[in-house]
Amino acid sequence: MVNKTMLSIVLTASVVSAAEAQTKLVEKVTKKGDELVIPYAKYKLANGLTLIVHEDHSDPVVHVDVTYHVGSAREEVGKSGFAHFFEHMMFQGSDNVADEEHFKIVSESGGTLNGTTNRDRTNYFETVPSNQLETALWLEADRMGFLLDAVTQQKFEVQRETVKNERGQNYDNRPYGLVYEMTSKNLYPYGHPYSWTTIGYIEDLNRVNVNDLKNFFLRWYGPNNATVTVGGDVKPEEVVKLVEKYFGSIPAGPAVQDMKPMVPALDKDRYVSYEDNVRFPMLRMTFPTPEAGHKDEPALDVLAEILGQGKTSIFYKNFVKEQKAMQASVYNSTSELAGEFGLTLVAFPNTPLAQTEELARQSIAEFEKRGINDEDLQRFKAQAESSLINRMGSVSGKVSQLASYETFRNNPNYIQEELKRIQSVTKEDVQRVYNQYIKGKPAVILSVVPKGKTDLLAKADNYTISKEGYKPGADEYSGLTYTKAVDTFDRSKRPGAGENPVVPVPSYYTSSFKNGLKLIGTQSSEIPTVTLMLNIAGGHRLQAKDPAKAGIASLTADMLNEDTEHFTSEQFSNELDKLGSSIRIGAGSDETYVMVQSLKKNLDKTLTLLEERLFRPKFTQEDFDRLKKQQLEGIANQATQPTAIANNVYNKLLYGEGHIMAIPSSGTEKTVANITLEDVKKFYNENYSPSVSQVTVVGDITEKELMDKLTFLKNWKKKDVKLPADVKAPAIDKTRIYFVDKPDAAQSEIRIGYLAMPYDATGEYYKAGLMNYALGGAFNSRINLNLREDKGYTYGARSYFGGGKYAGPFTASAGVRADASAESVTEFMKELTNFQKDGISEDELKFMKSSIGQADARKYETPYQKAGFLGRILEYNLSKDYVKKQTDILHNITKQEIDALAAKNLPVNNMHIVVVGDKKTVLPKLQALNYEVVEVDADGNQIGSSSLK
């Protein structure tokens, strides 16, 4: 039973006036036994601010979340995108925090930060070492109460360009990127708060001015419309004093009333469409459903799972298994005002979407014949429980959950109610919501077809958006005033940090089995789960001896996710889902990986399934034919995606013709066409061996308990697998630009670099990473500040060293505005050249040492973080004290050493520059630069002649 205490007390911070100091403890929730609950204390400040504190001393980190109950639903027609735009502006400095300092201060403190906006709320968050709590609260309070005077026209214009770049990268220039926008504006009535998307429209972004934005802040960003949630290595009474000090004197904003649900009603099917630069036609059917928290929400979630989630679903059986579509999925998505039951079908090329719609309707109707069984409910309830528990694996996950529950349910402990709702769903409920919301009900039916292929539309468009009945809402913005807090302390002084927390490296155990399999593990009892990762060395590189069948590692891994000797893939998926477990197998450049997640109570059954999947694959011709077809279609689809084209051309240039790494790990159409089922069986039989494998285990289990469960791995038969040696890359005689035409691309993709060195935990590779941090490794790096914050060319730019067991590239990359492509290349090369020539500044060196030195507190928090850290120790045979050695290197490295590393490892005259973009917009300006420009096709083959200024 949850222990919930209700009382009211007064806490007083000496630095705050008596009028501001009254803070009420609303409730305190503690955990009893094994119940699923996040303990917390909830407070209310006099200005209306809600404070929630979760105490958790398992790691020396703190997560601070400030959630404002305002999203794009509070915007007006013609002024879309404000909430998201303001999310950007909140990082641009305030009265006591200089421009671009917010990111710098948090990074320098060893923390990480971000903000997100959706329809209904905006949140800002930092995860920092526990000694930096006061700094995080000072930063958040300063932008809540002291922002607007720092919002300048220049900052406004730069962030307007950044938001437009974000829209270009994530919406306009992404395949199917406008699906949600098209659905929203045709599903909801004109003027409905959900009829536009969070990113907003370009014309609205162009129309607004800085004063519009300031008014939006004044109306919605008051403390009375915010929840501050703090979790981690803290003491609640200290948090309360700090929050009172920094937030208590900020005046309340205008009152905010919750919006009421506004579920749309359709009188008939609405057919709408658009053409996109895609290979596969897509059909999306969207039915209106109730809002989040509605009593029917869990039953609709069950219905969506039965219809179109996983291999047990009707849509998987009828579309994917029968090769009628590449992908088929169904989800019930809910927001504060309404929900959407969406069916998404990605068909094969040239498939008429009328056929796809007909089969979709037949599949929906099949639910009536199939009905609901006990296993359907068991699967749903087990997966929901597992998901809730796994969300609690980090302090950030727990804080986010508390903040969301408080914002939308006024109850941070809503997890108890959510569990009840999930467990109480019945078969009758699922049948009822099907009849009420789906059966025979009208939907928005969106067709997305390749350009010039309107003959594939499901039906001609029959709906035009009408403004009839629209009435503008009340004026929310007249008479707003900006009143700053009056304090008895100096806010301009950044708080001190105190001693850095001592961050112990997780204690771990290791073992080696007779068959050569290596194991590393650690016990972690924060949540009752076990994470197991099996890594089999080789992957795509194993095909170096026969590149003509490149792609086989990926295809083999996919085959292992299909039928086994004792289960069809559907039966196997059903058994896993009933446990709330997952087993995923995939292949990359250097390895095949197996990822296992299980609740501890279900580990034995999960490992039995892992043994079946790993050692008893059936390898049927039917599965092979289907997966091979999907892989070939996926390869063909890459030719439509600028990001994939840029990466593929870049790798071909780096590694050279004939090198296995010059070929994508998925293979090419030609190489995959060569692969047979016998090839897959041979690859599996010859290369899946314990002698080149390692197991990493993190979870609520002792070493002895674990070892007793791994007999099946100890009995794994050893094979003689020879891993290929590294092959030296071709030399680059001079820096050239390689240009690929992507007609009408809204953005260009840029890659700049060369093949550098393999991973080394304490050698030159590690030191080069330290060198790169100020250049392109942090948000406040030279490259990102220049291209994103100063110029507004991109949503983000970076550089990094990417070595592993084999030499990996140094790469600088970004997606940039098409009209700023040549300028972006110039700025990239300017930053690389200046750093190579002049090195690091003393301030940058200090920033790098502070930031990386304090970041250890965040390295080992979640099960996956711990598993990644331990896996690296085993893979590279690192000593137990390697972290201490890295720390010593970090503390002692000098400006002279960094400068020498830059001079050596940034060969600006011997790099490849790849640009993928619209030829008519981009190429003439590239040709005006002082580089030879070589035009190549999407496969990296030269077309026409090169040009040199």
Same domain? For 39 and 72 the reply is yes
What is the distance between the alpha carbons of residues 120 and 117, in angstroms, rounded to a whole number? Answer: 8
| pLDDT given at position 505 | 81
**Does residue 471 lie in a domain region?**
no
Asked if 348 and 633 count as a contact pair (C-beta separation under 8 A), the reply is yes
Residue closest to 373 by CA, chosen among 314, 420, 440: 314
Looking at 651, 684, 714, which one is the last position of a domain? 714
Confidence class for position 162, pLDDT limits 50, 70, 90: confident
Confidence class for position 21, pLDDT limits 50, 70, 90: low
What is the distance between the alpha carbons of residues 392 and 34, in angstroms, rounded to a whole number? Answer: 14
Same domain? For 887 and 846 the reply is yes
- The number of folded domains in the chain is 4
What integer is the mean pLDDT of 479-492? 94
Q: Which residue has the higher pLDDT, 576 or 658?
A: 576
**Does residue 252 lie in a domain region?**
no
Question: How far from 443 is each of 439, 467, 595, 872, CA to CA, in Å?
Answer: 11, 20, 38, 50
What is the distance between the alpha carbons of residues 557 and 548, in angstroms, rounded to a whole number? Answer: 18
Mean pLDDT score of the chain, rounded to an integer? 93
**Does residue 889 lie in a domain region?**
yes
**Does residue 207 lie in a domain region?**
yes
What integer is the mean pLDDT of 446-469? 96
What integer is the mean pLDDT of 680-696? 98
Confidence class for position 9, pLDDT limits 50, 70, 90: very low
What is the distance between the alpha carbons of residues 721 and 847, in angstroms, rounded to a whole number? Answer: 45
Expressed as residue numbers, the domain containing 121 is: 3-247
| pLDDT given at position 6 | 34
Asked if 923 and 743 count as a contact pair (C-beta separation under 8 A), the reply is no
| pLDDT given at position 523 | 94
Q: Give me the CATH number covering residue 579.
A: 3.30.830.10
Same domain? For 744 and 633 the reply is no
Kindly state the helix (H) or strand (E) to which residue 595 belongs, with its residue range. Answer: strand 591-599
| pLDDT given at position 280 | 96
Same domain? For 679 and 749 the reply is no
Q: Which residue has the higher pLDDT, 44 or 853?
A: 44
Confidence class for position 742, pLDDT limits 50, 70, 90: very high
**Does residue 257 lie in a domain region?**
no
Same domain? For 103 and 233 the reply is yes
What is the distance between the alpha carbons of residues 576 and 215, in angstroms, rounded to a whole number? Answer: 51
Looking at 682, 714, 746, which one is the last position of a domain? 714
Q: What is the pTM of this model?
A: 0.89
What is the distance between the alpha carbons of residues 713 and 394, in angstroms, rounded to a whole number? Answer: 30
Asked if 24 and 9 count as a contact pair (C-beta separation under 8 A), the reply is yes
Kindly state the helix (H) or strand (E) to which residue 682 belongs, with its residue range. Answer: helix 677-687
**Does residue 501 lie in a domain region?**
no
Residue 14 has pLDDT above 70, yes or no: no
Residue closest to 343 by CA, chosen among 319, 320, 360, 323: 360
Q: Please give the full DSSP string across 482-525, using - where no structure is assigned.
A: ------SS-TTSPPP--SPPP-PPPP-EEEE-TTS-EEEEEE--
Tokens of 220: 């919605």
Looking at 211, 232, 247, which one is the last position of a domain? 247
What is the distance between the alpha carbons of residues 228 and 254, in angstroms, rounded to a whole number? Answer: 18
Same domain? For 558 and 691 the reply is yes
Confidence class for position 945, pLDDT limits 50, 70, 90: low
Same domain? For 223 and 334 the reply is no
* pLDDT (tens digit per residue) in 29-38: 998 887 889 9
| pLDDT given at position 798 | 97
What is the distance between the alpha carbons of residues 202 and 192, in angstroms, rounded to a whole number? Answer: 19
Same domain? For 444 and 516 the reply is no
By CB neighbour count within 10 A (0-12 exposed, 13-18 middle, 19+ buried), where does 493 fall? exposed
Confidence class for position 503, pLDDT limits 50, 70, 90: confident
Same domain? For 430 and 281 the reply is yes
Asked if 416 and 37 count as a contact pair (C-beta separation under 8 A), the reply is yes
Same domain? For 703 and 645 the reply is yes
Tokens of 667: 């293979």
Strand order in the sheet with 23-30: 3-5, 23-30, 40-45, 50-55, 226-232, 61-68, 122-129, 112-117
**Does residue 467 lie in a domain region?**
no
* pLDDT (tens digit per residue) in 250-306: 999 999 999 999 999 999 999 999 999 899 999 999 999 999 999 999 999 999 999
Residue written as token pair 């197996």: 594
Residue 80 has pLDDT above 90, yes or no: yes
* pLDDT (tens digit per residue) in 273-282: 999 989 999 9
* pLDDT (tens digit per residue) in 325-359: 999 999 999 999 999 999 999 999 999 999 999 99
* pLDDT (tens digit per residue) in 48-62: 999 999 999 988 999
Confidence class for position 949, pLDDT limits 50, 70, 90: low
| pLDDT given at position 26 | 97
| pLDDT given at position 948 | 65
Asked if 927 and 919 count as a contact pair (C-beta separation under 8 A), the reply is no
| pLDDT given at position 813 | 98
What is the distance between the alpha carbons of residues 121 and 335, in angstroms, rounded to a whole number? Answer: 10
Instruction: Give the single-character DSSP code of 745.
Output: -
Same domain? For 689 and 749 the reply is no
Q: Please give the full DSSP string across 504-516, using - where no structure is assigned.
A: PPPP-EEEE-TTS
Same domain? For 418 and 530 the reply is no
Confidence class for position 16, pLDDT limits 50, 70, 90: very low
Confidence class for position 5, pLDDT limits 50, 70, 90: very low
| pLDDT given at position 696 | 97
Angle at 217 between CA 119 and CA 473, to 5 degrees: 60
Torsion, CA 561, CA 562, CA 568, CA 574, rounded to 10: 40
Q: What percent of the chain is modeled with pLDDT above 70? A: 97
Q: Which one-letter amino acid corresponds to residue 719?
A: K
Asked if 737 and 932 count as a contact pair (C-beta separation under 8 A), the reply is yes
* pLDDT (tens digit per residue) in 926-935: 999 999 999 9
What integer is the mean pLDDT of 867-882? 92
**Does residue 820 lie in a domain region?**
yes
Residue written as token pair 């190579």: 836
